[in-house]
């Protein structure tokens, strides 16, 4: 009788709703083993948590669940399953995400899984928010981190950057968003989810290589990170990612954080991968399952074991 391998088995997907002020934050819990190592995966800008999963059980989060992890995938306010949805007058920003939303989400995780060490996973701007959280709140029990295409500043210069960032992101989209009262990402057809106006404007400032300071209270996130021993971090960049997570900018973020046990990996055919990955398909391509997802699991388990020995 043929038995299915763990990677083929069905995972459980529970939807949690966490109240916060006038918002309700949605978080998907994806698991086979509710007592497995805890992973917290945060989406980036113009996205929601579905960058990590779909309802058919595909994506990084179900993959991790099938090898034993208990995975929590939140939607920041207004995105994904969180309510209310983003519209004109929707008031939230990066400061709120770092200081209130992420702590509330992690408190829910701790309630369900007390005394956890946790693994942080982020795509694109999600990695910047999680690092900012660590900078502001040192001592969080984080075993390791994995960031896909995460950059804090966009300094690479090429034609694609000129059109996507300098012309559209920093000028035309900014002008249009200020008229609309929010960044209408879905209407423009450039991403999975809309962005609150102030959140979007603050991202614009940070990617210009302005200091890594909080836009509301001036907190110095880089200083906060440098003052502590940051959990070992795997930074992944795609060779075909020309702007949003260019390898040079991903390396620059790694240098800004300055972790002692960090690792940078370029996902490319030249390095033995099945394809030259871009910004989104490094998480969504079918090739990921046999390509670099096993490397991610190996990284997480390596530091899970080390934390248990300490």
Backbone angles phi, psi at 176, to 5 degrees: -65, -40
E strands in 22-91: 23-31, 38-42, 70-74
What are the residues facing 196 on neighbouring strands? 182
* CA of residue 77 relative to chain centroid, distance: 14
Averaged pLDDT of the chain: 92
**In this structure, are residues 257 and 152 in contact, taking their beta carbons and an 8 Å threshold?**
no
Distances (CA, A) of 92 to 101, 146, 165: 10, 26, 23
CA distance 196 to 152: 19
**In this structure, are residues 219 and 206 in contact, taking their beta carbons and an 8 Å threshold?**
no
pLDDT of 305 strictly over 90: no
Map tokens 């995460």 to a residue: 150
Please give the pLDDT value at position 130: 98
CA distance 141 to 143: 6
pTM, two decimal places: 0.94
- CATH 3.40.50.1820 correct for 6-309: yes
CA distance 105 to 93: 16
Average pLDDT estimate for 139-154: 94
Structure-block tokens of residue 289: 């399952």
**In this structure, are residues 82 and 90 in contact, taking their beta carbons and an 8 Å threshold?**
no
- The pLDDT > 70 percentage for the chain reads 95
Higher pLDDT, 83 or 156: 83
Structure-block tokens of residue 63: 């993959």
Of 237, 234, 262, 235, which Cα lies nearest the Cα of 247?
237
Which of 4-8, 197-201, 210-214, 304-308 shows the lowest per-residue confidence on average (mean pLDDT)? 4-8
pLDDT of 6 strictly over 70: no
Please give the pLDDT value at position 2: 35
- Tell me the pLDDT tens digit for each residue of 7-48: 446 799 999 999 998 899 999 999 999 999 999 999 999 999
Contact residues for 302 (Cβ-Cβ < 8 A; gap 6+): 144
Which conformational region is residue 237 in: left (phi greater than 0), alpha (psi within -120 to 50 degrees), or beta? beta
Average pLDDT estimate for 224-238: 96
Please give the pLDDT value at position 307: 58
Please state the domain extents for the chain.
6-309
Please give the pLDDT value at position 273: 97
- Tell me the pLDDT tens digit for each residue of 149-171: 999 988 877 777 677 777 787 78
If you compute the radius of gyration of the chain from its CA atoms, what whole number of angstroms results? 18
CA distance 252 to 236: 12
Please give the pLDDT value at position 27: 98
For the chain, how long is the longest CA-to-CA vector?
63
Please give the pLDDT value at position 85: 96
Can the peptide bond before residue 120 be classed as cis, meaning omega within 30 degrees of 0? no
Distances (CA, A) of 159 to 109, 164, 165: 43, 9, 10
pLDDT bucket at 306, cuts 50 / 70 / 90: low
- Tell me the pLDDT tens digit for each residue of 239-295: 999 999 999 999 999 999 998 899 999 999 999 999 999 999 999 999 999 999 999
pLDDT of 308 strictly over 60: no
Burial of 220 from C-beta contacts in 10 A (0-12 / 13-18 / 19+): middle
Contact residues for 177 (Cβ-Cβ < 8 A; gap 6+): 183, 184, 195, 197, 200, 201
CA distance 66 to 13: 12
pLDDT of 1 strictly over 70: no
Q: How many C-alpha atoms does 34 have within 13 Å on its Cβ side?
A: 10
Average pLDDT estimate for 183-194: 93
């Amino acid at each position: 009788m043929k038995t299915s391998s763990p990677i083929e088995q069905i995972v459980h997907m529970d939807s949690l709703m966490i109240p916060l002020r006038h918002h309700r934050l949605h978080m998907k819990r994806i698991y086979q083993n509710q007592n497995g190592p805890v992973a917290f995966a945060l989406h980036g800008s113009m996205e929601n948590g579905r960058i990590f999963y779909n309802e058919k059980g595909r994506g990084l989060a179900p993959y991790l669940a099938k090898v034993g992890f208990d995975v929590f995938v939140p939607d920041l306010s207004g995105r994904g399953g969180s309510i209310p949805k983003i519209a004109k007058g929707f008031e939230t920003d990066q400061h709120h995400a770092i200081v209130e939303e992420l702590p509330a989400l992690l408190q829910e995780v701790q309630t369900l899984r007390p005394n956890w060490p946790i693994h942080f996973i982020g795509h694109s701007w999600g990695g910047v928010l999680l690092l900012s959280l660590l900078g502001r709140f040192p001592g969080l029990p984080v075993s390791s981190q994995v960031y896909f295409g995460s950059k804090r500043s966009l300094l690479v210069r090429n034609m694609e950057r000129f059109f996507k960032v300098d012309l559209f992101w920093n000028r035309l989209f900014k002008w249009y968003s200020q008229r609309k009262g929010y960044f209408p990402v879905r209407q423009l057809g450039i991403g999975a989810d809309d962005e609150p106006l102030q959140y979007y404007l603050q991202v614009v400032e940070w990617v210009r290589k302005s200091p890594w300071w909080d836009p509301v209270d001036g907190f110095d996130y880089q200083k906060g990170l440098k003052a502590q021993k940051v959990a070992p971090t795997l930074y992944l960049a795609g060779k075909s990612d020309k702007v949003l997570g260019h390898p040079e900018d991903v390396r620059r973020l790694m240098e800004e954080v300055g972790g002692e046990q960090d690792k940078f990996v370029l996902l490319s055919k030249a390095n033995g991968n099945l394809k030259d990955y871009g910004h989104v398909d490094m998480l969504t391509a079918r090739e990921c399952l046999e390509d670099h997802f096993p490397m991610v699991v190996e990284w997480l388990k390596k530091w899970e074991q080390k934390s248990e020995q300490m």
